[in-house]
Amino acid sequence: MQARFSVPIERPTMKLIFTHSNLMYLLMLALALLCLLLGSCWLVDDMGIHGGNYAGSINTDGSNFRSSDGRLYGDSYSYPYYQCYGYPYYYSDDEVFYIGNKITRKGLDLMPYTLTPDTLVCSDKRWLALEPTTRKLYFAANGDLYECGFSGGGLRNLTLANTETLLRPTLSEDGRYLTAIRKLGYYGGYIGPIVRLDLQTLEMIEISVTPMADVAWYNSLQDKYYYHCRGNIYRVSPDNPTAQLLMQASDPECVFAASHDRRYFALLANRKLQVYDSDTGQQTDMEYCDAFAFLPQEKGIIISAKAYGVSDLRLYDPETGDYSLIFDGIVSTSLYLNWVNNIDPRWDGDALFFKGSISERGYPKHLTDI
């Protein structure tokens, strides 16, 4: 019998020698981890706009001013939500819809999620129609007009017989009709005839106009169409497609918009705001305006005008011509707004976001210095 012996094997061990250099290394490592954790918390909590850009929020009654508030546009140097998600439609604090290549829903303090499938690509990156009564969204994708619910359900192609050429849908005040354009030509952007879709019957009619339209609206009370083309606003009737010129901007590359009831139309070019009342035929001109936005559901226009070098925010009533000041443009004791380039009111008209730049003694100032 052969005896077997078990030889104990000594396992290698690591002995930590706490020299002065090792202690310094461990201390530096602990400090680095602490800074990383604190930095991560700062990145999560910080919702400001930095690098000379500025964004803020305020109630339209002038209360609850929140400086350095980038929750609608993104917290970074270049408004990253525009690049990530697209143009915002501020329905409520919990429901903000962005249109880019896709339709994205995101609350101001909530995570985003995409409402449209990968097979759909939005035909334009700006025009999204909201219908709060039915909680539906209307948009153009793959050249057709689509609808879906506020949560993305019920996605449906409304124009199956279309030839994939429809763009820029707008909704009539009564919520029954979608108006769009059919792209036929290109002049600094797609232009073409006006198309109207009845959402109850899905019947679609087309109206040829000269000049062609790039965006159109339908006023169901007047039974008339209004459209924009190269800085001009025109009106046509279903029985008479001859376009009537209503107003003209000094620059074809202007900012334009229509009120929710399709009564008022506005053009902004070279800091001059023109507002046309389609009921009375009167036009009002306002100088030194940098930005404007119609209230989504109510009568009124939020305007940023500059006085003595400071840009303010005011609510303008186009029917009476009265103003009420929302924000005087004074951000702090040393900082003030020197330019506003975008205003996004909430759907209920009680709050808004705005963005632009601030100054101290005439020089751009970073928000990190506030």
Residue 35 has pLDDT above 70, yes or no: no
CA distances from 247 to 266, 288, 361 (A): 9, 19, 38
DSSP per residue over 206-261, as a string?
EE--BSPBSEEEEETTTTEEEEEETTEEEEEETTEEEEEEEEE-SSSS-EEEE-TT
**What is the rounded average pLDDT of the residues 330-350?**
92
Residue 82 backbone phi and psi in degrees, to 5: -60, -45
Q: Which residue has the higher pLDDT, 81 or 94?
A: 94
Q: Tabulate helix, strand, coil % of the chain (nearest 5).
A: 10, 45, 45
Q: Give long-range contacts, CB 8 A cutoff, 24+ apart: 14-19.
A: none
- pLDDT at residue 43, rounded to an integer: 33
Residue 323 to residues 215, 261, 350: CA-CA distances in angstroms? 29, 20, 16
Q: Average pLDDT of 185-203?
A: 88
User: What pLDDT does 333 receive?
Assistant: 85
Residues 300-329: tens digit of each pLDDT: 999 999 988 899 999 999 999 999 999 999
- Go through the chain and tell me how many residues it has: 370
Residue-level pLDDT at 363: 47
Q: Is pLDDT above 70 for 330?
A: yes
Taking the whole predicted model, whether its pTM rises above 0.75 is answered as yes
Q: What's the chain's average pLDDT? A: 86
Average pLDDT over residues 227-238: 96
User: Average of pLDDT values for 245-256?
Assistant: 94
Better-scored residue on pLDDT, 315 or 81: 315
For residue 356 the two structure tokens come to: 């632009």
Q: What confidence score (pLDDT) does residue 370 get?
A: 38
